[in-house]
Structure 1
């Protein structure tokens, strides 16, 4: 079931990035992603809610051409300050509130990634949009925090700090991937789960593949 929740504002996210709280990209995440997705040079990608660009810089190190979207001015400032190697670009976009950028054309992308942001978004709609943007062979990757019901109740409180720990319950994670041909999930830690989806809208849908 999709629940509407109060989300942090752009100013809240600016404060979050100014304070230096964002999670780092771990070696385990990079290795698990590379093994499962097998990125290759020349891949075209988008990173939704890209933050300060840590994950995008990892993608470009593998030769992926990637554009990052975020609605935090401070996050994008930090991302650009870290450098703009060939094949990397950023743009400001409120994914839930603003029209889809013209650059996100149907069937135009090999890869879309979204780390830690799905629980803050209208994720069913986002996944539908992502499926349209991807080529038939395209892949979607999400990193999500694994939460229980009490965690999510706390994350929806009035505390701005607590609101940055929103996640999905195990039941919600199990529901992500409906309408896709194949799903692979893997745990990176007790609190973090990687989800890889392939084949959006495939009429010959097969049961989800799940790995630990």
Structure 2
């Protein structure tokens, strides 16, 4: 019962608001991570991108600077307020909004078959995976990409294993996609990128 309560709290807006208010930070994506993302997701100016669990909006801002039209969502009001304040220079290409992909109704701007790229940088682990993957495949174009940045759970300290995916979780992601690619983002393959292309 206690474990269940802890797992639930990690997926609540209140939990994340408290973390952000206390100064919680997800490191900005470095040059190598950004380049790998661009290469594997084959990003092009003019694409419509959705950044899920955007936090303070760092990856969303980079995508906007690359010429993508970006819709960035997070259910933490604190994170969204900070993202809006810190990335005003990207406002023509970037929109931040509060949204809970687990419990809220689908945003009306996410129409079926219209999204080119969905990015989940350190956020996929906290979603209702079945619902989100079903919705993501519906929103994406036939050649669309879901890009996930995460940790391998087995390489994380036991107390932080929830911040990553197990090998079996990663393998199951192949279902419902035409192609899947994984790539390492650090020396020991703890931090990885996963690209799922072509929803079916």
CA contact (8 A) 2:9 2:15 kept: no
Task: State the 1:100 CA deviation.
Answer: 0.8
SS at match of 1:131: helix
- 2:114 corresponds to which residue? 108
Residue 127 to residue 187, structure 1, CA distance change in 2 (3 Å): same
Say whether residues 1:49 and 2:48 are aligned partners. no
Q: Residue 19 of structure 2: which of 7, 16, 22 is its match? A: 16
Q: Distance in 2 between matches of 1:171 and 1:137?
A: 25
Q: Which residue of 2 aligns with 1:161?
A: none
Secondary structure at the residue paired with 1:127? helix
Residue number in structure 2 paired with 1:123: 129
* 188-197 or 71-80, larger mean C-alpha shift: 188-197
In 1: Cα distance, 2:33 partner to 2:156 partner: 26
- The worse-fitting range, judged by mean Cα deviation, of 34-43 and 179-188 is 34-43
**Alignment deviations for residues 59-87 of structure 1 (CA, whole Å, 9 cap, x no partner):** 01110000101110110011001133211
Give the equivalent residue in structure 1 for 2:98.
92
After TM superposition, the score normalised by the length of structure 2 is: 0.88
Higher helix proportion (structure 1 or 2):
2
1:84-116 Cα deviation digits (max 9, x unpaired): 321100111111111111111100111111111
Unaligned runs of 5+ in 2: none
The CA distance in 2 between the partners of 1:96 and 1:124, in whole Å, is 10
Number of equivalenced pairs: 189
Q: How far apart are residue 151 of structure 1 and its match?
A: 4.5
Which of 83, 87, 99 aligns to 2:87? It is: 83
Q: Cα RMSD over matched residues?
A: 1.9
Residue 151 of structure 1 contacts residue 166 of structure 1 at CA under 8 Å; is this kept in 2? no
Call closer, same or farther: CA 1:54–1:149 in 2, change over 3 Å: closer
Query: Structure 1: any 5+ residue segments left out of the alignment?
Result: 157-164, 202-212
